[in-house]
């Protein structure tokens, strides 16, 4: 030791797990655990963990959770395993829990997206096919909507009326004389408009208003209004009230789900501008998929049980209005299901486990959007795109994607070397073929930290305060006495871990 020259570590750059340990740089450790970084050089033991819920019976056996921003606060939507059932709870804060708001047998994972304070939920299953995990929407299940108020979640969309409306010439008023088709539409408490129903043909008189009766009360308590629709004058009526273009009559609304009569409606055909015909093509029950995202204010859902290569896309501003005819994107089938999707810089990126394609809204129906292949080798799993702080979504300029190669930046193309280049040996030990759905990432862009649940249910932590690039990012694995299933950020940078009961 007398001739030994001490080595001074002026800074510590975290874990190096790449190739032979003999190649570990002097400012890295070949093995470390449960450290966190502060400042440009410092490191210390990671913070301890505590129980988030301060209620007599906290929810446990947590399988999946997401940050759920409601209209007035940051909350959590949490899936719990309850025997053979999956129960979803709304954790408002540490002392307030609603639920279960949704319980489905066999639901052990789900996709989620917030939209205008509501939560949209899609249950899915994981199967092992040919030695690879495969996720797809649960068979005979649907997209659900939760209003955030503690009432039970329900199926999104809804069925239209079936009872025929009754029309009669009323008091003095005005219409274009001739045969019109009349019907009505239900409106739900989330603003969804059902397909028109109760269609009848009736001959109006030019000098009279039209009275409507027998407007059926919906059996669904979530219906809040009913709107009368009409065709323009039909010159040659064929006896069948279906197949004609329908429009909303301005002001012809029953603002409740109680009354059955609406009298004194005057209108001209020139007033019929708001088309209702497209509502006939919408799903009344939307099939469950694997995941959900938004693009151009549209709701997107993908990988149904029987359509693993199809993305369903809603009308703009109407997340529950999805056309069965042209509200879809069909990605080239190759035996692999769609896994994930996200919007970045006005482009919708759609992933499979090892493929990425993109689509751009051309102003026409989604089925007309043209694909562009981004990468034929890199994609991600069903939770493999990082959400950002406590709001979800992508950063302005990039996505962080958990590819088979590693955690990788994507800004329209995948940036190599990957961010996790320094810990590639550790990344290579993960069991992606069977457990890829366990990978989940959150990005604390304020604190400049990444947290990633690995397939072995530990957490890979990174600090990028010294630079968001493969060279300067600092990695450190975290392990716990618990096995981590999921994670989320609330209150900007507070990390929550979801685990099984211990």
Instruction: Say whether 281 sits in a helix, a strand or coil.
Output: helix
Structure tokens at 251: 């002001």
Q: How many other β-carbons are positioned within 10 Å of the β-carbon of residue 368?
A: 11
pLDDT > 70 in the chain, percent: 98
Distance from chain centroid for Cα 136: 14
Q: Distance of alpha carbon 421 from its chain centroid, rounded?
A: 30
Name the token pair of 375: 């990468």
* 425-462 per-position pLDDT tens digit: 999 999 999 999 999 999 998 999 999 999 999 999 99
Q: Which residue matches tokens 């019976």?
A: 57
pLDDT for 391 beyond 80: no
What do you get for the CA distance between the two ends of the chain, in Å?
48
Q: What is the pLDDT of residue 344?
A: 93
Q: How far apart are CA 270 and CA 146, in angstroms?
A: 39
Q: How far is residue 456 from each of residues 144, 154, 407, 424, 478, measured CA to CA in Å?
A: 31, 34, 16, 15, 11
Q: How confident is the model at residue 11 (pLDDT cuts 50, 70, 90)?
A: confident
Q: What is the mean pLDDT of the chain?
A: 93
* Residue 232 CB contacts under 8 Å (≥ 6 apart), including other chains: 176, 180, 245, 247, 269, 272
Phi, psi angle pair for 400, to nearest 5°: -110, 120
State the pLDDT at residue 500: 80
Q: Which domains does the chain have, with CATH numbers?
A: 62-157+284-499 (2.130.10.10), 166-281 (no CATH)
Give the span between the Cα atoms of 279 and 248, in whole angstroms: 11
**Phi-psi map region of 308: left, alpha, beta (phi>0 left; psi -120 to 50 alpha):** alpha
- Give the residue-averaged pLDDT of 280-308: 96
Q: With 80 as the cut, is the pLDDT of residue 27 above it?
A: yes
Tell me the Ramachandran region of residue 384: left when phi exceeds 0, alpha when psi lies from -120 to 50, beta otherwise.
Answer: alpha
Question: What size, in residues, is the chain?
Answer: 502
Q: What is the mean pLDDT of residues 131-158?
A: 96
Radius of gyration of the chain (CA): 27
Comparing C-alpha atoms, which of 348, 344, 349, 286 is closest to residue 320?
286
pLDDT (tens digit per residue) in 393-419: 655 689 999 999 999 999 999 999 999
CB-based contact 206:171 (threshold 8 Å):
no
- Give pLDDT tens digits for 283-294: 999 999 999 999
Question: Which tokens in the block code for residue 260?
Answer: 């059955």
Lowest mean pLDDT among 46-60, 176-190, 340-354, 403-417: 46-60
Render pLDDT for 172-215 as a digit per residue (tens, 0 to 9): 999 999 999 999 999 999 999 999 999 999 999 999 999 999 99
Q: What is the pLDDT of residue 389?
A: 73
What pLDDT does 72 receive? 85
User: Measured between alpha carbons, how far is 192 from 458 in angstroms, rounded to an integer?
Assistant: 42
80 close to 101: Cβ distance less than 8 angstroms: no
CB under 8 Å, gap of 24 or more: what pairs does 316-322 form? 318/191, 318/192, 318/193, 319/115, 319/120, 319/156, 319/294, 320/143, 320/145, 320/156, 320/157, 320/188, 320/190, 320/192, 320/286, 321/157, 321/192, 321/193, 321/279, 321/282, 322/157, 322/282, 322/283, 322/286
- Residue 56's pLDDT band, with cuts at 50, 70 and 90, is confident
Residue 2: its pLDDT value, please?
Answer: 73
């Amino acid at each position: 030791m007398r001739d030994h020259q001490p080595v001074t570590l002026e800074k510590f750059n975290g874990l190096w797990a790449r190739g032979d340990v003999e190649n570990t740089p002097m400012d890295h450790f070949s093995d470390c655990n449960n450290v966190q970084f502060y400042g440009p050089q410092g490191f210390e033991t990671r913070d301890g963990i505590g129980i988030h819920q301060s209620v007599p019976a906290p929810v446990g056996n947590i399988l999946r959770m997401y940050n759920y921003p409601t209209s007035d606060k940051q909350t959590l939507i949490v899936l719990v395993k309850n025997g053979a059932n999956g129960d979803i709870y709304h954790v408002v804060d540490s002392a307030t829990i609603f639920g279960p708001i949704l319980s489905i047998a066999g639901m052990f994972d789900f996709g989620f997206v917030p939209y205008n304070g509501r939560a949209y939920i899609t249950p899915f299953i994981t199967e092992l096919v040919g030695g690879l995990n495969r996720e797809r929407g649960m068979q005979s299940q649907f997209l659900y909507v939760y209003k955030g108020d503690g009432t039970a979640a329900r199926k999104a969309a809804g069925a239209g009326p079936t009872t025929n409306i009754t029309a009669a010439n009323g008091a003095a008023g005005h219409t274009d004389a001739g045969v019109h088709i009349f019907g009505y539409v239900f409106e739900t408490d989330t603003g969804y408009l059902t397909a028109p129903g109760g269609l009848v043909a009736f001959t109006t008189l030019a000098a009279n208003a039209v009275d409507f009766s027998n407007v059926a009360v919906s059996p669904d308590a979530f219906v809040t209004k009913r709107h009368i629709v009409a065709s323009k004058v039909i010159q040659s009526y064929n006896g069948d009230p279906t197949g004609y273009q329908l429009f909303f009559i301005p002001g012809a609304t029953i603002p409740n789900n109680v009354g059955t009569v609406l009298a004194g409606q005057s209108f001209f055909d020139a007033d019929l501008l708001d088309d209702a015909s497209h509502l006939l093509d919408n799903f009344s029950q939307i099939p469950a998929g694997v995941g959900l995202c938004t693009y151009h204010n549209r709701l997107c859902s993908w990988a149904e049980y029987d359509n693993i290569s199809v993305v369903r896309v809603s009308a703009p501003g109407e997340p529950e209005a999805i056309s069965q005819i042209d509200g879809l994107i069909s990605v080239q089938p190759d035996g692999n299901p769609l896994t994930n999707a996200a919007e970045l810089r006005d482009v919708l990126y759609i992933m499979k486990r090892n493929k990425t394609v993109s689509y751009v809204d051309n102003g026409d129906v989604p089925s007309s959007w043209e694909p562009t292949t981004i990468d034929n080798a890199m994609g991600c799993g069903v939770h493999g795109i990082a959400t950002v702080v406590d709001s979800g979504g992508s950063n302005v300029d990039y996505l962080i994607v958990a590819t088979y190669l590693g955690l990788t930046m994507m800004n329209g193309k995948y940036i190599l070397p990957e961010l996790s280049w320094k810990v590639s040996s550790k990344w290579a030990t993960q069991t992606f073929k069977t457990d890829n759905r366990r990978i989940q990432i959150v990005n604390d862009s304020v604190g400049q930290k990444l947290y990633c649940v690995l397939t072995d249910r530990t957490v890979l932590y990174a600090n990028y305060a010294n630079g968001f690039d493969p060279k300067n990012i600092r990695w450190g694995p975290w392990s716990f006495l618990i096995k981590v299933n999921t994670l989320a950020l609330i209150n900007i940078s507070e990390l929550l871990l979801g685990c099984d009961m211990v």
